[in-house]
Amino acid sequence: MIEKTDSTAKQARIIPRRVFLPWLITSIGAIGSSVLLFQSFRRTETKTRTLIGDKPRFKKRKPDNQLKLARGFYLNPRSQIIHYIPEGERLRFTGCTNTRHLQPTTAADVLKYATGTKPRVNVSRLSNSLEQAAAEQILQNNIELSCELLFYAIQRERPISYRLYDLLAGLSVRFGKPDQMKRLIAHVNQMQSPQALENFNPRLKKWHDPQSLWYRRWTDQSKKLRWTTNNGPVLLM
């Protein structure tokens, strides 16, 4: 009698499949709905905080440290590097340099530093910077200073920039600067590379020959000559 009663109790504790499956599905659905409601509440709360200013919706941009500066040379006091900045342009190719810290300097001051290691003009932009600075001095009729800037660039530019040589030679004959031409030719003759000297031979000939087309074009004061830099054309009076 006791064994029969135990068997009946065990059968009562077993949940029929037709009852268990609906119960399981309903339970899973209830848990899923609770999770979705909680996530929706969190999103609404975050959006509300954003709208009332508790948390910014977008990250603030870092302040622009690249100011537009007037044309000219600027010294970075930390690196002791001199940069030339065309008018209305920002500093380029210099990493994270803050233009707010740059100190304006003059072309004449740049030449004072020519013999030392620092301060010095930014090497990566030396040819372009000094050519534009020299062109600016031409417009201001500072021919001697323009020639000095070009020769400074010629001494330090590697590889050789024939463009700088041509401009300096042209200025020397157009504006009557024979000493500048002599110094330029002496610099060429001191080159150790036979290939470089060979490349300069055609130039040396036309620089020396008053009858050459190049010489007559540069010395013809009745016509304006145009020299083009990255900053635009420069008319040579």
- Exposed e or buried b per residue across 2-36, where buried means at least 16 C-beta atoms within 10 angstroms of its C-beta: eeeeeeeeeeeeeeeeeeeeeeeeeeeeeeeeeee
Q: In the prediction, which pLDDT does 25 show?
A: 64
- CA dist 79 and 199 (Å) reads 37
Q: Give mean pLDDT, residues 78-107.
A: 72
Q: In the prediction, which pLDDT does 129 show?
A: 84
Using DSSP, state whether 159 is helix, strand or coil. Answer: coil
Q: In the prediction, which pLDDT does 183 show?
A: 96
Q: How confident is the model at residue 79 (pLDDT cuts 50, 70, 90)?
A: confident
What residues does each domain of the chain span? 20-56, 72-236
> Is this model's pTM higher than 0.75 or not?
no
Residue in the structure block whose two tokens are 């969190």: 42
Residues 25-73 have pLDDT tens digits of: 666 666 656 655 656 656 655 554 444 444 555 455 554 455 677 888 8
Closest CA to 200 of 178, 169, 234, 236: 169
- CA dist 5 and 63 (Å) reads 84
